[in-house]
Every structure is written in C-alpha cells, then in structure tokens.
Chain A
Amino acid sequence: MNGPWDVIIVGAGPAGLSAAIYAGRARRSTLVLEKGLPGGQILVTDWVENFPGFPDGVTPFELMRDFHKHAEKFGAKVETDEIDKISGSEGAWLLRGSKNEYIARAVIIATGSAYRRLGLENESRLTGRGVSYCATCDGAFFAGRDIAMVGGGDNALKEALFLTKYCRKVTVIHRRDRFRGERIYQERIFANEKVQVLWDTVVEAINGGDKIESLDLRNLKTNNKIHLPVDGLFVSIGTEPQTGFVRGFLDLNEWGQVKVDLNMETSVPGIFAAGDVSDACPKQIATAVGTGVHAALSAEEYLSRR
C-alpha cells in the first residue's frame, strides 16, 4: 500500500500536471500516476500555436516537459502506473494500479481521451498497414503517395496540412458541408493545392489485402458512391474519454465524460475531474490547464474543510 497521499492525480497531461503544480504549492502531498510518458495525448501533434504566451509556437514535447518540471519543482511526485480500479470511501480512496495500490484523501481524475475509430470491418486488420490515427507518427511512410483524411475538426485539418508536406495528394473526407475546425486551418486547407475536399461524404468500406488499397465512399446528399484508390487512410473523428476504471463509480454523461459541477467535483465528494475526461473542457491545452487548476483549488478547499 502506497500512501496515504493528500491528493492523487490520475493522468499526467496538461490538466493533471497543472493540478499537480497547484496541489504541490498548497503544500499537499501530491502523487501523479501516468500510464505512459508525462504529456498525454497532446504529444501526438507536431506543433502547438494557440497556447497563450507562446507567440512563436512550441513543440508539445518541450511544453509538456516543462509542465512536468514545473509540477516536480513544487513537490509533486510523478510515477508510472496504470490505474484500473477505484474503490474505498470518503477520506480514504483506494486506487488499484498494475504495480501498486494507492490510498488518497482526495482524487483528481485527468486521464484524458484517446482517438476514436471509424468502426469499419477491415479497420483493425489494416491498422499499421495503411490505416493510421497519427499523422505526425506515420506521415513520412507515405512520401509521394495519395492518402485520405477523415474528419473535419481542428485535429483533422491540422493533420491534413501536416500530411501535405509528404504526400502527393490529400483527400479530406467530411460528413458535413462545412468544417468545425479553426478558421485559420480552414484557410490553409482551401489554399493548399495538394488538398481536395469531399463534403457530405462518409467512408463505407476500407479495402485491401496485406495493405490498404481503396475506400468505398458515399455522398450523404446525392447517395452517389465513389471508389477512391488510396495508399493510406488517416482517421481523426474525435476522441473518447478514458473512463473505463471509473465506470459505475462516477456519474458519466451520454458521451462517457465524467460529470462535474461548477467546482470540478464529480458525483462523489472528494473526487474531482479535469481536462478532456470531464464534461467541462473544450479539448484545448489552455482549457485543460484551467480545469486542472480549478480541480486542484477545489480539492484544496475540500481538504481544508475536513
């Protein structure tokens, strides 16, 4: 048994590490548990240019390395473990990890979200064989090739633009007739000669043997079917909150996000949530930071009341 800690934060992305800075400065014993490398999902992107205070942009790797350093500077401990169960009662929450069991007086859930899949038949089989969820990881394998990108949000547009650096042609497939992503990315997409956009279109099948060969598409308005030969398919259709280990324990909303009140407290007193995993965060680093700080302040108030 490891603890008791005043505050245990599950997840070391922007929300979790921001919470750790504040909990540490409140002089609370603070442990951050992260299943991979501190930084989280943001490490998958190539470049951050909308985080306030960095007018010239910053790599997510550098940014998150400094978040990590900042949290440790004020006393938080950051360790690797994956939590798969939470139990116990108020004042003594029990977190079961793959290495250890931990006990905490207050808990902040900041496990973030992971990419969503299309849910098509050949998708899993062809993942790593032309189907990818990470343009920055895999773009270089498609140099000079024709690829498709599914999605219309910030990340899809950003990744499509990134892929134009390598690929011959990028076809963006979007189910609606306009993009949701930031206007500045839309302008760059429309100005890029390598990009073709197929509006109102969905992917109905991914075809290929040892590797991807083509897509079957359908226009939702005209019902026209299109057969599109591709060398790669990148998928960016949103994310799913990582709430497996709190299901049945905390109230979730219809999208599986942890419900929080105006103080970032969940349905269970003493347990807070912040960042993408909560229902209060619009999936930006800056809002993850804001909700993380708020959760830590609320946890501090909760601990001083008890």
Chain B
Amino acid sequence: MSDAIVQGGDADFEQEVLKSDLPVLVDFWAPWCGPCLMIAPLLEEIAKANQGKLKVVKINVDENGKTPVTYGVMSIPTLMVFKGGELKDRLVGFRSKNDIIDLFMKYV
C-alpha cells in the first residue's frame, strides 16, 4: 500500500475527510470484495498522480460500521468526493480509471 493513500475510519473521518483542506476521494471497501480489490491499483495510481491536489482515503467497512451507515453506503466499492466538508458526488461499483478521474476532476 502506498503512502499516497490514507487509511481512514470512523474515529478520524471528521479530521481526515470533513476538515481536509484538499478535496477528498473516499473509497468504501472491504478485503472480501472482488471489485474493491480490482479498483485498488487504479486508486493507487490516481493518488500518486494527484499528490498535493487530491487526498485519497480508504475506509474498510468491515472495521468501520458507522460512517458507511451515515452516508447510506449499501454497495461496495462506493467512491465519494468530499470538498469543504460536503459530500459532492458518488460512484458505485467497478469503474474504469477515466470514470473515477471524471468523478473528482471538477472539484480539484
């Protein structure tokens, strides 16, 4: 796992995501979810390519039950974009790298 990606959770969601100065791409995932594993390398590339412009935070829904419920996550992977503490957009399921880039590009 690269250090370009932050492992977040219920305890630090406010600090890492809602209070972040940068726009945040949040990935709700779990280790037993195939499509989550499939997009993981794409998120690594996106995090590295956008360092300083975008923060990528991964939230393991197995270990963090509260945040997924707060944001109505019922499918994984779900990607969400937060800016200035607000949820701006979401994308559900396995998507291409270009779809993911389109999701956050207008907020960075």
Residues of A within 8 A of B (CB): 35-37, 39, 42-46, 60-61, 80, 82, 98, 127-130, 132-134, 136-138, 140-142, 210-211, 232
Contact = CB atoms under 8 A, between A and B. Distances in A.
B94 interface: yes
Given A82-B96, A134-B93, A128 B34 contact: no
B102 to A, nearest CB: 12
Interface in B38-65: 38-42, 45
B38 A36 contact: yes
B37 A43 contact: yes
Contact of B98 (A98, A140, A141): A98
A199 B94 CA distance: 31
B37 A61 contact: yes
Given A37-B40, A39-B34, A82 B74 contact: no
B34 A137 contact: yes
A211 B72 contact: yes
Contacts of B35: 43-44, 134, 137
A138 B41 contact: no
21 contacts: A36-B38, A39-B34, A42-B34, A43-B35, A44-B34, A61-B37, A80-B41, A98-B97, A128-B90, A129-B72, A130-B74, A132-B74, A134-B33, A134-B75, A136-B32, A137-B33, A137-B35, A138-B74, A138-B76, A140-B30, A141-B68
B36 interface: yes
Given A37-B40, A39-B34, A61-B34, A128 B74 contact: yes
B55 to A, nearest CB: 22
Nearest to B92: A128
B20 interface: no
B73 interface: yes
A142 to B, nearest CB: 8
A44 to B, nearest CB: 4
Nearest to A41: B34
Interface in B88-107: 90, 92-94, 96-98
Nearest to A81: B97
B67 to A, nearest CB: 13
Nearest to B34: A43
A141 B92 CA distance: 14
A37 B42 CA distance: 9
Contact of B38 (A39, A129, A136): A39
B78 interface: yes
Contacts of B39: 36-37
A48 to B, nearest CB: 12
Nearest to A129: B74
Contacts of A60: 34
A159 to B, nearest CB: 12
Nearest to A130: B74
Contacts of B98: 82, 98
A134 B38 CA distance: 13
Contacts of A98: 97-98
A102 B95 CA distance: 23
A46 B30 CA distance: 13
B40 A127 contact: no
Contacts of A35: 96-97
Contacts of B97: 35, 82, 98
Given A82-B96, A133-B93, A127 B75 contact: yes
